[in-house]
Structure 1
Amino acid sequence: MTSITIKPEILIIDDDRDVGEALEILLSKLGYNSTFFDSVDKGKEYFEKEANPIVFLDIHMPRTSGLDALPYFKNLNPGTQVIMMTGERDINNVVTSLTHKASDFLLKPFSLQTVRIAVQRALDYYTLLKEKEARDESILRDLRLASKIQRKILSVPDLSPLEVAVDNIPASFVSGDFYVLSRTGNNLLVLLGDIEDHGVTSGLIGLLMTSVAREAYKEQADPSHILKRMNVELSQEIGTHSLTAAVAIVHLDKKTITYARGGHPFPVLYQADGQLLLNEKSGQLLGIMDSLEFESHEIPYKEGDVLFLYSDGLLNNLSNPLFGELEEIRKKGLGLSAFQEAIHSYTKVSLPTREFRDDSSYLLLRL
């Protein structure tokens, strides 16, 4: 354990000057600087500026008792170790002190040895807290950077004159959901995937899958082939996470969509004359068995149709009222921004109230 090399200043608050000054002498012998106050108010004022890591606080004082003052110090600086002092053996005071997160309890009169043990124990715990705080801050910085990098990698390319709206809301910093938009000539790859679980590991696997999908797309513009390649990679090389995915290849010259699913919620194609659920046999989860086969299907589309892909963190059943809202938008012939606004309003209200948070993502493509 890393120790604090510069011994911190210790704050003493006791209405008995003889006790306070005697404690100052003991602490000085142990190599610690200390500051003594004979009232809680003066001690609070000093603590607000110095935030001392260790405070000796007497229980029985006029006007404000140490038990009443203890929560103040812990609320202002939760890491501060407060050592309560008293001349009475009252178990209720001990219980109350510990309830309010006092770190120790000393009976008067105290010896050099008891003070040494109490201070060292408090200092060791304070050091652990500061080390944990530093580690947590480092982890938080890394997570924020990982989130920023993921958003950058998953940026949306310019597909004009097609319109695209994408959102990926992680449950915690880094999302296990991912998407791919890649155009080659008259073919456009559209993919939305959902790695099991969420967090950094799932996010990294998702980024790997985007690379595998792009390579497979270059080999063969077939959704079933892309899913098969992703499944083999996930099963043989990773072996710890499963994946659901929906893959569509838009043939802009033929105005057709070829699509396949691997355990993923079915896409929806909103058309001028109705909505089409792409709900043929979905195939199994990816990453379980490396020998899986996936079936591709083809449908025509018309200019102005809207393709909607989403993860189960956003929608997981047909009875969800959001589907009704999107259908009303289709009937009114509104633009892609109306679809996007409806989904945004839904996620803003719905996601924070869920007991179990999951990554949530969607992709809208106006053809």
Structure 2
Amino acid sequence: MLNSVIVVDDEASIRTAVEQWLSLSGFEVQLFSRAEDCLAQLPKNFPGVILSDVRMPGISGLELLAQVQRLDPDLPIILLTGHGDVPMAVEAMRDGAYDFLEKPFSPDTLLSSLRRALDKRRLVLENRRLHQQADSRAKLDATLLGMSRALQTLRRQVLDLAALPVNVLIRGETGSGKELIARCLHDFGPRAGKPFVALNCAAIPEQLFEAELFGHESGAFTGAQGKRIGKLEYAHGGTLFLDEIESMPLAQQVKLLRVLQEQKLERLGSNQSIKVDLRVIAAAKPDLLEEARAGRFREDLAYRLTVAELRLPPLRERREDIPQLYEHFAQAAAERLGRSVAPLSGAQLSRLLSHDWPGNVRELANAAERQVLGLGEPEAEVLEAGQSLAAQQEAFEAQCLRAALTRHKGEIKAVLNELQLPRRTLNEKMQRHGLTREMFLKDP
């Protein structure tokens, strides 16, 4: 909370008096008699102010100031001084202290200084939050490629959900990038430094599923040699990604639900409960609630997993992203294989845009690698009919606009000259394809 105050003073009477004044004024107060204890328990980005005596046994207030400055130079520290310490406190302000109060001080003087310091702290933390959001958006833009409206919406949803402590269900077709989205939810959230554990529920034989999920003790069953940590326990503190969750055996669904409810598990062959703190991100192709109504999935687990749901659009619903994705995959393959990448011809681009991509992004990445290897024109083997001429024209027009805007870094006049379009026509086309000048500026 942005009304938090840490009070560090070795005199119990001062601590008690200050706590009473501040509590009556609505502050959250934490007391320490030693600066060493304050430093040991000081959280990162502490949303408040430190109020510290100067002269204390062990680490003094001035030493506390120096150590806090190294941890967070923007954290306000107000020093409490005796009369003889005023010159020292003035020097401390030059070294980064926010203010000093000479004892004895009045409650009004203390409150006035604290409120000013908290206002400053609020601005600092808000500025940090905005910078972190901007950095996260830039990193996510470089991870989830695409300029279509669907991808822009998906990126916003991922950033919003990444910060929230809720389970998420990802819906999408095969090859649409469900594990990548799960990884982004983990990497851009508060659990980023903890394990990300992925388990494909369709790839594990039913008889081995429980041991894989919960682990086992030595001798728990025939062939169980030694203790094994299961996926749930290994993901403690982090994220467990359960792909193709619809394939999980019903018997294991019951046990998973219990773990999510009680936040503890037991290894096979053990009666000891182990606490686990994890976030579950599940992925499925079908609707889990429809699967539950058909008796193929537990309804209570479906509700537990779908606190939030993300739908990944198939590639055929965001054709304007195909050229950028293809170029990215081709470049990555070329660097890995030591090959060069030839620019796409108009005919090649047309084939890419007209294909329905049933394998989605995974199929597109494979097509790009085959082209780099010289194994055929992109999608020449799988080209399908059925895409209307109007749809192909729309996709091609969007790509032409995007390419011109990218080349000219959003300079509209240069785009108008290249494409030989009136300003009003360009505006209408950009609006129809969900394009804005700001997307292409060199320094947005």
Same fold (TM > 0.5): no
Q: TM-score, normalised by structure 2?
A: 0.35
Q: TM-score, normalised by structure 1?
A: 0.42
Greater share of strand: 1
Greater share of helix: 2
Larger radius of gyration: 1
